[in-house]
Structure 1
């Protein structure tokens, strides 16, 4: 039997290991999921919700231990790891409430016909999740799948298998046998899962992996819900509150060491205020201290692995060689880490302005006029999130309406209310989750009609 060995990103030392799921075991797991799904689907939404509400209580009670595991394995500061677990616990009750509303049959009638719309389970769903938020990211996909009456085969990232297993083990205390099973492994197991006899794939990860999943799922015309990569822009208008804009830019560029799908990776600033903005972000960046997960003073942890660290450093070096101006940071990056770095005078031809970075780097380009700002911001194949800062809120709102992204914030992050979906545009998303409409992505809509008397 082979094992996945999980490494602490700050030290390279093993945190633990889990058995790799043999490829030949996956078909039997799928069969077991189909069998378990029948009984699970016979439970009401309320009954399924009660199972998950019990899990929410256990998550809150065990947040300290689970947060320590998450932080050791992924590298983020302990308060962030515990915070992620507690966020998962707190977000289950509103999602259960949302499901109760979303999955009720809906009646429709005209002069001749009465119809009922039912939101039935699809069957078996594969959930394939990333490493950067190794508990909250899978939960966003697992909850609608399970509440919708589906069985799930869950493949956590091979970088964070322990957190994924611990999360699934906790949920399984309250779920019937085989409603939720874990597939551990690399892309080999992921591909086998996509090609198996399942009904849906829910995936969060890179655009390239999403394309591969789409191709492999095509022969079975499987339902897909995919959140893919991003290259989110921030537009700072000439009347923006520069202190607020700079604080947001640093927080959203450096959060999780830049390893976030809606990280701010491009900043476009009106030339009239660009120098003042640069001065502010450089000053704020000095407060971001690096350190391992247990360092209480650390705000940023290590990169997940050396490959990702080198990718970020290569992008920085290429940008500097092409004429970018470094206004914060240097080349003295500690082993396993990347220091917060701010580059100005960036241009669209630089890889760091076109390709996903996923590191603690802020890239600034000055613009002349809103037409140029919108052209630059929309000049990408990505379209997950975007943000606009401007004191004239009506103007900022109109700028936001011209941005080609799925989620756009005005003087705040791109996160919407709890009722809003998490949705990407262009090649950053295929389907969505996190709303009444998002629950329907995990369901088979069925319409039954009869004639009306008289």
Structure 2
């Protein structure tokens, strides 16, 4: 069966069990309630998943507590071996996992497969990091005292991942937690839960002990509150919106729990006059509309030197025009649907606000007429954009590319730093001094110079300002899953 032939009716061959995974067992909600999961390209129901009750969540918490008690005693080599085997199993099933993601989330299957392989990279990377959680000894004031510093697992983790990258963003939390010796309760995104639930299948296949990985589904406010308020949970990890991050941080603060937050972004793209303009515009267009623009790190505000702005815009529009919109299962599709009807309406509002305040639509601007169902929106390019328009200040999380201009370096930096977001930023220039100075002066956690593909397992991912704190990936990614213990040992008399 080819990718384009896979239909909603074939879902039973692809999906994992439509249940929660608690203490090594698949289970329904204790009261039987469920919620449907729909294909955003067809609006057809794929399947239903349980809505966890308080009793279900308590069972998951108890399992995580027991799992942690056992797993923290596993050797670093044992943890590494399990993670390596998980990475191998994910890669082995990448085609199936990608189709599942396309069905539930909508992105083109080639992009979904890339995400699945990136998820495997997370498990592979942390298989190595599990064996590199170093402590140290310190020489103290006295020769009869030994100072030892040891990093130990923080405890059971509550992890919350969103629907836009349902495999990768769950993997970024599960892999370092397991590597550090923690157990984890993951709330799968209710809009696209199956990609996360596939990790439970993998955990069973490779023999991860029961209780180390638990995956629940349910209404986000109720689930997050119940998990975070539990004394079992000692760390909270969220990838999500700024408002949700604020609320979960408040909940975690009442229990003095460790928190890492990767929140929204509105990444500036600074295109300087010495850049390779045609390449910059082509790369920017392809990157902007990946996953229909539903990417927290997406190139989002295009700030182009006035001397090259028209050339940049023409090439950008040309590249955008060539993108094919459609069901992600179809061959040759570049841009799939938005996640929900509400997301599409929000994108349309941003376009209408900009146009009503003087912006020009150079391409797109509305839902494509050829689709009678599905949450599609034509990739849209706006010019004559002013800094105070909503599209320049609110995370669009959709296929809108606003282009504005600057004259001097300081103005470019000021425009780039003009929002409260600080996740990522991008710079296009052929001048090394400009590249260094711009990357250092942008108030963001990550910078790409002359390219947009900056997310990778071996590098730290995270933001500043309202875009959050803490890092996922790289050697830094395991830090927040550990606590530092200091032991001072007084020796007896020399024998």
Name the TM tier (shorter chain): over 0.9
2:176 is matched with 144
Q: 1:406 aligns with which of 445, 449, 452?
A: 445
2:138 is matched with 108
How far residue 107 of structure 1 moved from its aligned partner, in angstroms, is: 2.4
1:96 is matched with 127
2:214 is matched with 181
1:54 is matched with 85
How far residue 332 of structure 1 moved from its aligned partner, in angstroms, is: 4.8
SS of the residue aligned with 2:104?
A: helix
> Matches of residues 30-69 of structure 1 in structure 2 within 5 Å?
30-69=61-100
> Matches of residues 196-235 of structure 1 in structure 2 within 5 Å?
196-197=230-231, 198-235=233-270
* 1:313 equivalenced with 2:345 (yes/no): no
Moved more, 387-396 or 408-417: 408-417
Unaligned runs of 5+ in 1: none
| Distance of 1:92 and 1:28 partners within structure 2 | 26
How far residue 394 of structure 1 moved from its aligned partner, in angstroms, is: 1.8
Equivalent pair of 1:400/1:408 in contact (CA under 8 Å): yes
2:27 is matched with none
Equivalent pair of 1:18/1:162 in contact (CA under 8 Å): no
Any idea what the Cα deviations from partners look like across 1:274-318, whole Å, max 9, x if unmatched? 111111101111111011121111011000000111101110111
SS of the residue aligned with 2:49?
A: strand
| Distance of 1:260 and 1:249 partners within structure 2 | 14
Equivalent pair of 1:52/1:171 in contact (CA under 8 Å): no
1:24 is matched with 55
Q: Structure 1 residues 115 and 172, CA, compared in 2 at 3 Å: closer, same or farther?
A: farther
| Distance of 1:248 and 1:212 partners within structure 2 | 36
| Distance of 2:367 and 2:264 partners within structure 1 | 28
2:20 is matched with none
Q: Structure 1 residues 178 and 156, CA, compared in 2 at 3 Å: closer, same or farther?
A: same
> Matches of residues 153-168 of structure 1 in structure 2 within 5 Å?
153-168=185-200
| Distance of 1:81 and 1:20 partners within structure 2 | 26
| Distance of 1:16 and 1:380 partners within structure 2 | 40
1:195 is matched with 229
How far residue 417 of structure 1 moved from its aligned partner, in angstroms, is: 6.3
| Distance of 2:179 and 2:245 partners within structure 1 | 24
- State the aligned residue count: 453
Equivalent pair of 2:351/2:365 in contact (CA under 8 Å): no
Q: Structure 1 residues 417 and 307, CA, compared in 2 at 3 Å: closer, same or farther?
A: closer
Q: Structure 1 residues 106 and 172, CA, compared in 2 at 3 Å: closer, same or farther?
A: farther
How far residue 171 of structure 1 moved from its aligned partner, in angstroms, is: 1.9
Equivalent pair of 1:407/1:414 in contact (CA under 8 Å): no
How far residue 111 of structure 1 moved from its aligned partner, in angstroms, is: 4.9
Equivalent pair of 2:288/2:401 in contact (CA under 8 Å): yes
SS of the residue aligned with 2:304?
A: strand
Unaligned runs of 5+ in 2: 1-31
How far residue 389 of structure 1 moved from its aligned partner, in angstroms, is: 0.5
1:118 is matched with 150
Equivalent pair of 2:348/2:365 in contact (CA under 8 Å): no
Q: Structure 1 residues 332 and 154, CA, compared in 2 at 3 Å: closer, same or farther?
A: closer
Q: Structure 1 residues 176 and 318, CA, compared in 2 at 3 Å: closer, same or farther?
A: same
Q: Structure 1 residues 419 and 108, CA, compared in 2 at 3 Å: closer, same or farther?
A: farther
| Distance of 2:335 and 2:439 partners within structure 1 | 30
Q: 2:430 aligns with which of 371, 374, 391?
A: 391
2:29 is matched with none
2:474 is matched with 435
Equivalent pair of 1:19/1:184 in contact (CA under 8 Å): yes
SS of the residue aligned with 1:267?
A: strand
| Distance of 1:120 and 1:23 partners within structure 2 | 30
Any idea what the Cα deviations from partners look like across 1:103-126, whole Å, max 9, x if unmatched? 132222245354222110111101
Q: Structure 1 residues 19 and 417, CA, compared in 2 at 3 Å: closer, same or farther?
A: closer
Q: 1:74 aligns with which of 105, 109, 118?
A: 105
| Distance of 1:97 and 1:380 partners within structure 2 | 37
SS of the residue aligned with 1:235?
A: strand
| Distance of 1:90 and 1:406 partners within structure 2 | 21
What RMSD in Å do the two structures reach over aligned CA positions?
1.7
SS of the residue aligned with 1:12?
A: coil
Equivalent pair of 2:121/2:457 in contact (CA under 8 Å): no
How far residue 148 of structure 1 moved from its aligned partner, in angstroms, is: 0.6
Moved more, 358-367 or 18-27: 18-27
| Distance of 2:119 and 2:401 partners within structure 1 | 29
SS of the residue aligned with 1:348?
A: coil
> Matches of residues 330-409 of structure 1 in structure 2 within 5 Å?
330-333=365-368, 334=371, 335=373, 336-409=375-448
Equivalent pair of 2:149/2:485 in contact (CA under 8 Å): yes
| Distance of 1:332 and 1:160 partners within structure 2 | 23
Q: Structure 1 residues 327 and 180, CA, compared in 2 at 3 Å: closer, same or farther?
A: same
2:327 is matched with 292
Q: Structure 1 residues 78 and 135, CA, compared in 2 at 3 Å: closer, same or farther?
A: same
SS of the residue aligned with 1:433?
A: coil
